[in-house]
């Protein structure tokens, strides 16, 4: 195998490795997001049980309306907190993916530059040999 072919093979190999790394990061981010959603669901279940208990213990209409207004505020706060965390995780996932793509592009450009340099240094030598063969 000639030097340029070996360099291109190395470039291809590095590209496949980088693609696998990006896919792994994507799966890890999906797992993190899913875990966050599971925590939110579990919290909602606990809060729903607490809400049902508070509403069930209300003895008058005023107590019921008071409990409902407190619970509605808490539910709104939890919903906003959930969406805030969701967007924060999504942003972190995007930053991680962008960082990996930048690293991949840097490595690919370095490998490609090495391949071009190797090819350029071999070609004058090949031209001299071709000139000798023709003579």
Alpha carbons 122 and 3: distance in angstroms, whole number: 8
Q: Which helix (H) or strand (E) holds 21?
A: helix 3-57
Alpha carbons 14 and 111: distance in angstroms, whole number: 9
What pTM value is reported for the model?
0.57
Domain count, the chain: 1
Summarised one tens digit per residue, pLDDT across range 49-94 is 888 888 888 888 888 888 888 888 888 888 888 888 888 888 887 8
Summarised one tens digit per residue, pLDDT across range 100-131 is 888 878 877 887 787 777 777 766 655 555 55
Cα dihedral sign, 88-94-96-102 = negative
Alpha carbons 72 and 70: distance in angstroms, whole number: 6
- What pLDDT does residue 126 have? 58
Where in the sequence is the domain holding 21, given as residue range(s)?
Answer: 3-134
Alpha carbons 24 and 40: distance in angstroms, whole number: 24
Alpha carbons 47 and 72: distance in angstroms, whole number: 11
Alpha carbons 49 and 29: distance in angstroms, whole number: 31
Backbone angles phi, psi at 110, to 5 degrees: -65, -45
């Amino acid at each position: 195998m000639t030097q340029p072919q070996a360099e291109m093979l190395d470039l291809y190999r590095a590209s496949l490795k980088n693609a696998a790394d990006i896919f792994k990061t994507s799966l890890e981010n999906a797992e993190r997001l899913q875990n966050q959603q599971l925590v939110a669901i579990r919290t909602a279940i606990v809060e729903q049980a607490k809400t049902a208990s508070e509403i069930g213990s209300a003895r008058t209409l005023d107590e019921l309306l008071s409990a409902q207004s407190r619970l509605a505020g808490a539910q709104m706060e939890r919903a906003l907190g959930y969406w805030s965390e969701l967007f924060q995780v999504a942003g972190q996932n995007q930053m991680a993916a962008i960082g990996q793509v930048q690293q991949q592009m840097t490595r690919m450009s370095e490998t490609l530059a090495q391949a071009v340099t190797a090819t350029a240094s071999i070609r004058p030598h090949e031209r001299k040999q071709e000139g000798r063969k023709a003579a």
